[in-house]
Amino acid sequence: MAMEVTQVLLNAQAIDGNVRKHAEESLKQFQEQNLPGFLLSLSGELANDEKPVDSRKLAGLILKNALDAKEQHRKLELVQRWLSLDNNVKGQIKAFLLKTLASPVPDARSTASQVIAKIAGIELPQRQWPELIGSLLSNIHQLPVHVKQATLETLGYLCEEVSPDVVEQDHVNKILTAVVQGMNASEGNNDVRLAATRALYNALGFAQANFSNDMERDYIMRVVCESTLSPEVKIRQASFECLVSISSTYYEKLAPYIQDIFNITAKAVREDEEPVALQAIEFWSSICDEEIDILEEYGGDFTGDSEIPCFYFIKQALPALVPMLLETLLKQEEDQDQDEGAWNIAMAGGTCLGLVARTVGDDIVQLVMPFIEENITKPDWRQREAATYAFGSILEGPSPDKLTPLVNVALNFMLTALTKDPNNHVKDTTAWTLGRIFEFLHGSTVDTPIITQANCQQIVTVLLQSMKDVANVAEKACGALYFLAQGYEEVSPSSPLTPYFQEIVQALLTVTHREDAGESRLRTAAYETLNEVVRCSTDETAPMVLQLVPVIMMELHNTLEGQKLSSDEREKQGELQGLLCGCLQVIIQKLGSSEPTKYVFMQYADQIMGLFLRVFACRSATVHEEAMLAIGALAYATGPDFAKYMPEFYKYLEMGLQNFEEYQVCAVTVGVVGDICRALEDKTLPYCDGIMTQLLKDLSSNQLHRSVKPPIFSSFGDIALAIGENFEKYLMYAMPMLQSAAELSAQTADADDEMTEYTNSLRNGILEAYSGILQGFKNSPKTQLLIPYAPHILQFLDSMYMEKDMDDVVMKTAIGVLGDLADTLGSNAGSLIQQSLSSKDFLNECLSSDDHMIKESAEWAKLAISRAISV
Amino acid sequence: MAEGGLTSHRRDPIKSSVGNVAAHRRRQNAVEVGKERRESLVRAKRLCRVSSSCDDSDVCIENDMIIDEEQSILEAQTSSAVEELKSAVSFQGKGAMQKLVGALREMRRLLSKSEFPPVEAAIKAGAIPLLVQCLSFGSPDEQLLEAAWCLTNIAAGKPEETKALLPALPLLIAHLGEKSSSPVAEQCAWALGNVAGEGEELRSVLLCQGALPPLARMMLPNKGSTVRTAAWALSNLIKGPDHKAATELIRVDGVVDAILRHLRKADEELATEVAWVVVYLSALSNVATSMLVKSDAIQLLVQRLASSNSLQLLIPVLRSLGNVIAGDSHTIVAVLLPGCEITDNVIEVLVKCLKSEHRVLKKEAAWVLSNIAAGSVEHKQLIYSSEAAPILLRLLSTAPFDIRKEVAYVLGNLCVAPTEGDGKPNLISEHLVSPCW
């Protein structure tokens, strides 16, 4: 059944486009006509040591792609396809693959490893291929060395592909033993050690039981720590990556090793090559992540319970850790500020320092201040920059009481440095530090203001001046202005920025027109800052915001005038359109929020909507999202009159709801459905058939990202609230969907944090749908249509109450639904509620809740229920 | 991973471009706005029992009209009652007193009548300044009582309606004093309790205006209704999050004695309110906790736990006990000595709570035990050898998650022994290997 494919595979990599195309065609034909033969030929090619390496590699790659795809839907198809293949064929393919692990050609071995792991990922959960792990392990003790290396690599990939619960503990133990032995210093071959170390990285998730056993854990930790000292840089890097992974997976087991790990990481940070040093720093950042999470949980709770206790590793390591991190700050690269993807020791060190400050708070300040004082005025720019960077990094975490006196002293120095320092790098970091000062120490919640009438003008002047500096400095100056404006969000009626409003807006618009505004994301920063300045402005400056409307409209109009553009230019154009739509969104929200300005603004509404509709012609997802958001804002401002735009807008709404691939567009569009329902109310009706059809399709699709589904349920509620009893015809479709989603969300055993969060958002969506539908039908003669659904809704509430894992938001929505049942269905629901298992307990618990919102909903529900029962 | 372990951790640099966060926040904000509007729409629909969507149903219209009418009639009556009150306040002639009290009584009746008291209509019509005027010094008790009653009902309204009481607060506080008759003082305490319950902001206003000392003194005598109302108002007033009020309260002369006395003797209803005061005292103020520990408080709380079956009472009493034990290390080291009777009693009542049907009691009892279990080795042995151990083990396998979690803490604490310095805790192996486990 197999066939000679070498030449076709080589041709498929030919330089000549025609040859290549022809070869790709024949491969495709072969695959379509005879899949088993095709796969078998490929595996035979991969296993054959007489074949050229290029054809073997491609054969392996095509095999791999025949087993897995990024896209969930496609992936499931491929899995099914493999499982339904003839067992005999699969057996032959697997035999070829295992044989390839012994090939002298490294590329062939490595490719085979990956394919084996993919097949294992499919078959092990089905309890198939039970002998695989055993036969791999039997390879481990074999010479030659390259077989050992390939086998370890395969085990590593296998652990990456397969979930721990499908591998029995006995196999896990043996895999770990093999891997750790391979890492051991007694293993003479570096390739084997490297493969073993990388395999361990993937196998760590399997090692729960082993990490709970002191002896086994000690052994694993010792081997990992030893291999961080290997002479081979790649092994050292891989070992530190293991440590990083251990720090988050097994934080609570680290106490006995932390001192040793500190010594190892400190040495690596100071002396080792960059990739290794970066991982060593990352270890401490990761510990900070863990402790910040734990301490946050401590803080939030009455009795202060967290699943894992805090060991205060950072606090203990502080006197040694901080000096080590401060040293890294002096290792800047010359051009890191211009390069958006830059990542080096200095950047990682400062990032870690920031996390340390958030972990320990006040304690860090006295350890960092001497470094700042020592370096901030030095002639070498590196020292001045490092000092400034250190200061900026520790502004989040310590208390304002501790920081404010220091900032009061530093502020003037920073403002001077931003204008006078000869070095761009220093200026960049200075502007960023000012932004951090404003972000964390300026605003209505701060007791002692650091910005006063006396220095406000100077700050604005310096920032506007710096916006004329080189692009990266100007970008940071915009950022500082952003947080300066944000701090005045809550002031009214008069903002200290009012006197400078016109000047600020002008300066930001000038920045957007700079030739080099495309560098360092300067244009984006300028527009987002303009948005924030507008958003936080007060009524005094409303006339100036109004004047901004035609200006931004004109900018948007200009981008739509049809020149022929290269694809590169088109991309930039799209980015600009997105920014302008974003800006209009904020302006519309601002002006729509008060009657007088809304009235004046409405004269532009037709034209603005016209521009948005033209923007949809552009093919960029980001632009569609931004235009949708702006249209949502416009719908609110316009109210029922938005109906006149619907005939034209509807097709784009539908397009957005169909956009599975760019699911963010779909999510934003679902939000806009809600906006439109609230604006149009019953005038939404003519569009509801189409919208509901699309939403129901979205829900039944397994291609659509799951995060979009809860908001879709909420939008059912929005639609029902808008069209009331006319929702009748959708009940037979919507209710079963809600019901099965409710059942799904009630089973929450073994969920991790992420899953719990998703479950709660799903429940919230479902409950909002129920509330909307019930309230939509209230007082209609058709309420009896809902009675058959009431028992299930009550069951859903019961089951959530029993599980005891609702968050506050869900609890509030859920108790509201209980009230809605009573409110809409009256005595029909009253008796059901009285009979239900836990309604009474649930209501009582909510009535005595500390959460104001829950209590309020509960009080209303109580009233509704008592009315329903008394009827 | 194929190309050399490039799964490397790479986090976002602390120094990043403002554009990244800003666009994200803008989107979040749009989602939030949608959410808020959805919620306010649902709230409006819930409160409004009249819907425009039932135009074609006669029955419905009729119903709506009745409800609509009831509500609007009530509002109209309220407005005219306020007008009446206005003229009564300025009326100087014969029978002025009766006229004023009559107008106040009508007002109070309207404000107490419906599930939806016409608070907004009353405020809009200008009731507050008139009621404040009626509270002026030297007014007859009946007038003060009715005025304070009206204000109590207004204070029970929505948050912004409660805030409307601001101008009345100084006088309500003034009437708490010893010179007032007890019905008047109680009514004023009630109104102030409603205000304090509304939120932190109003609490701090009340504290600044000196509401605490007179309310505290109202707790000293033995008159049940006065003490109950005062205790309820105080528990609202010292809720925090600032702990200063709790400390201030415990330092008022005689308060500790009064609390102990009420805990010892009062009926369950009164003891419940007093216990809530103890809950907040012990949760927020270290000073209060240590004073309570040094008194008979623990003993009294334990007696209450042992003798009562009222859930209303047991919850605050148990929480108080837990706070006292968790809040002051002295409690475990010096009071709950192993071998003392009190210690055995504590364990006994906690076992009672663990056995109870009620979830909150089980959970909080386990929490209290976990703190005791964190004490000395003797404490651990005591719990371990008590009836608690088998119950805890059973709960660990059968109870809902939140209880299991607390239970796991107890068991965990039972199994490790404290060590000096920073060494890691030692396992108490005798529990673990003991044959009965």
List, for residues B21-45, the tens digit of each pLDDT value. 898 999 898 889 899 899 888 888 8
- A374 within domain boundaries: yes
Check residues B197 and A95 and name the one with the higher pLDDT. A95
Asked if A532 reaches chain B (Cβ–Cβ under 8 Å), the answer is yes
Q: pLDDT tier at B2 (50, 70, 90 boundaries)?
A: very low
Element (H, E) at B416: strand B416-417
- Minimal C-alpha gap between B51 and chain A (Å): 6
Q: Give the whole-angstrom CA distance, residue A813 versus residue A375.
A: 55
A403-432, pLDDT tens digit by residue? 999 999 999 999 999 999 999 999 999 999
- On average, the pLDDT of chain B sits at 80
Q: Give the whole-angstrom CA distance, residue B413 versus residue B388.
A: 14
Q: What is the DSSP letter of A334?
A: T
Q: Which of A78-82, A777-781, B202-206, B430-434 has the highest mean pLDDT?
A: A78-82
What number of C-beta contacts closer than 8 Å exist between A and B?
171
Three-class SS of A4-47: CCHHHHHHCCCCCHHHHHHHHHHHHHHHHHCHHHHHHHHHHHHH
A575-617, pLDDT tens digit by residue? 999 999 999 999 999 999 888 899 999 999 999 999 999 998 8
* Residue numbers in A near B9 (CB within 8 A): 241, 244, 279, 282, 286
Element (H, E) at B427: strand B426-427
Asked if A486 reaches chain B (Cβ–Cβ under 8 Å), the answer is no
- A346 within domain boundaries: yes
Check residues B307 and A254 and name the one with the higher pLDDT. A254
- A317 within domain boundaries: yes
What pLDDT shows up at residue A305? Answer: 53
Q: pLDDT tier at A308 (50, 70, 90 boundaries)?
A: confident
Q: What is the DSSP letter of B92?
A: -
- A320 within domain boundaries: yes
Q: Which of A354, A531, A674 sits opposite B34 (nearest CB)?
A: A674
Q: What is the mean pLDDT of residues A688-709?
A: 91
Check residues A398 and B367 and name the one with the higher pLDDT. A398
Q: Report how many domains make up chain A.
A: 1
Q: What is the mean pLDDT of residues A747-764?
A: 81
Q: Give the whole-angstrom CA distance, residue B18 versus residue A446.
A: 22
Q: Give the whole-angstrom CA distance, residue A400 versus residue A403.
A: 5
- Give me the residues paired with residue B417 across strands: B426
CA-atom Rg of chain A in angstroms: 32
Asked if A775 reaches chain B (Cβ–Cβ under 8 Å), the answer is yes
Q: Give the whole-angstrom CA distance, residue B276 versus residue B196.
A: 15
Asked if A512 reaches chain B (Cβ–Cβ under 8 Å), the answer is no
Q: Give the whole-angstrom CA distance, residue B251 versus residue B176.
A: 19
- Could you give the percent of chain A with pLDDT greater than 90? 74
Domains of chain B: 1-43+244-437 (1.25.10.10), 45-196 (1.25.10.10)
- A679 within domain boundaries: no
What pLDDT shows up at residue B3? Answer: 40
* Residue numbers in A near B161 (CB within 8 A): none
CB of B300 closer than 8 Å to CB of B347: no
Contacts with A280 (C-beta within 8 Å, 6 or more apart), sequence order: A240, A264, A265, A266, A268, A269, A272
Asked if A678's CB is within 8 angstroms of B22's CB, the reply is no
What pLDDT shows up at residue A3? Answer: 66
Q: Note if the bond before A493 is cis, omega within 30 degrees.
A: yes
Residue B8 has pLDDT above 60, yes or no: no
Q: Give the whole-angstrom CA distance, residue A205 versus residue A158.
A: 12
Residue B437 has pLDDT above 50, yes or no: no
A16-51, pLDDT tens digit by residue? 889 999 999 999 999 999 999 999 999 999 999 999
The residue among B423, B424, B399 whose CA lies nearest residue B411 is: B399
Residue A354 structural domain:
254-300+307-333+341-397
What pLDDT shows up at residue B64? Answer: 47
Q: What is the mean pLDDT of residues A347-364?
A: 97
What pLDDT shows up at residue A516? Answer: 94
A152-211, pLDDT tens digit by residue? 999 999 999 998 888 888 899 999 999 999 998 788 889 999 999 999 999 999 999 999
Q: Where on the phi/psi map is residue B419: left (φ > 0), alpha (ψ -120 to 50), or beta?
A: beta
Q: Which of A234, A244, A863 sits opposite B4 (nearest CB)?
A: A234
DSSP string, B238-266: T--SSSHHHHHHHHSTTHHHHHHHHHHHS
Amino acid at position A368, single letter: V
- A476 within domain boundaries: no
Residue A109 has pLDDT above 80, yes or no: yes
Residue B52 has pLDDT above 50, yes or no: no
| Residue ranges in A164-312 assigned as alpha helix (H) | 169-183, 190-203, 208-212, 214-227, 233-249, 258-271, 274-300
Q: Give the whole-angstrom CA distance, residue A548 versus residue A597.
A: 13
What pLDDT shows up at residue B321? Answer: 86
* Residue numbers in A near B42 (CB within 8 A): 717, 721, 771-772, 775, 816
Q: What is the DSSP letter of B11?
A: P
CB of A474 closer than 8 Å to CB of A466: yes
CB of A600 closer than 8 Å to CB of A558: no
Check residues A193 and A848 and name the one with the higher pLDDT. A193
B138-193, pLDDT tens digit by residue? 788 888 888 888 888 888 878 888 888 888 888 888 888 877 888 888 889 988 98
Q: Give the whole-angstrom CA distance, residue A318 versus residue A570.
A: 51
CB of A695 closer than 8 Å to CB of A658: no
Q: Where on the phi/psi map is residue B10: left (φ > 0), alpha (ψ -120 to 50), or beta?
A: beta
What pLDDT shows up at residue A356? Answer: 98
What pLDDT shows up at residue B62? Answer: 43
Check residues A143 and A256 and name the one with the higher pLDDT. A256
Asked if A524's CB is within 8 angstroms of B7's CB, the reply is no
Sign of CA dihedral A374, A375, A377, A380: positive
Q: Give the whole-angstrom CA distance, residue A634 versus residue A650.
A: 15
What pLDDT shows up at residue B436? Answer: 42
Neighbours of A472 (CB within 10 A): 26
Q: Where on the phi/psi map is residue A813: left (φ > 0), alpha (ψ -120 to 50), or beta?
A: alpha
Q: Whose structure tokens read 């211009």?
A: A338
- Could you give the percent of chain B with pLDDT greater than 90? 3
* Residue numbers in A near B362 (CB within 8 A): none
Nearest CA in chain A to B158: A856
Q: Give the whole-angstrom CA distance, residue A276 versus residue B5.
A: 12
Asked if A520 reaches chain B (Cβ–Cβ under 8 Å), the answer is yes
Q: What is the mean pLDDT of residues B309-332?
A: 81
Q: Give the whole-angstrom CA distance, residue A198 versus residue A151.
A: 12
A543-587, pLDDT tens digit by residue? 999 999 999 999 999 998 867 778 888 888 889 999 999 999 999
Using CA atoms, how far residue A160 sits from A6, A52, A109, A201, B6, in Å, is 31, 29, 17, 9, 14
CB of A15 closer than 8 Å to CB of A77: no
Residue B5 has pLDDT above 50, yes or no: no
Q: Which of B26, B42, B51 sits opposite A582 (nearest CB)?
A: B26
Q: Which of A784-798, B141-155, B204-218 has the highest mean pLDDT?
A: A784-798
A459-498, pLDDT tens digit by residue? 999 999 999 999 999 999 999 999 999 999 888 778 999 9
DSSP 3-state assignment of A779? Answer: coil
- A450 within domain boundaries: no
Q: Which of B25, B42, B321, B413 best tests the A interface by mutation, with the highest count of A CBs <10 A?
A: B42
* Residue numbers in B near A282 (CB within 8 A): 9, 11
Nearest CA in chain A to B49: A779
Element (H, E) at A754: helix A753-777
Q: Give the whole-angstrom CA distance, residue A109 versus residue B263.
A: 79
B60-85, pLDDT tens digit by residue? 444 444 455 567 777 888 888 888 88
B373-384, pLDDT tens digit by residue? 877 777 887 888
Nearest CA in chain B to A634: B30
Q: Give the whole-angstrom CA distance, residue A627 versus residue A584.
A: 9
- On average, the pLDDT of chain A sits at 92
CB of A414 closer than 8 Å to CB of A463: no
Q: Give the whole-angstrom CA distance, residue B432 versus residue B420.
A: 22
What pLDDT shows up at residue A476? Answer: 97
CA dihedral A150, A152, A156, A161 (to 10 degrees): 60
DSSP 3-state assignment of B417? Answer: strand
| Residue ranges in B8-140 assigned as alpha helix (H) | 18-47, 58-90, 96-113, 119-124, 127-134
Q: pLDDT tier at B255 (50, 70, 90 boundaries)?
A: confident
- Minimal C-alpha gap between A18 and chain B (Å): 30
* Residue numbers in B near A772 (CB within 8 A): 42
Element (H, E) at B139: none
Neighbours of A683 (CB within 10 A): 18
What pLDDT shows up at residue B356? Answer: 81
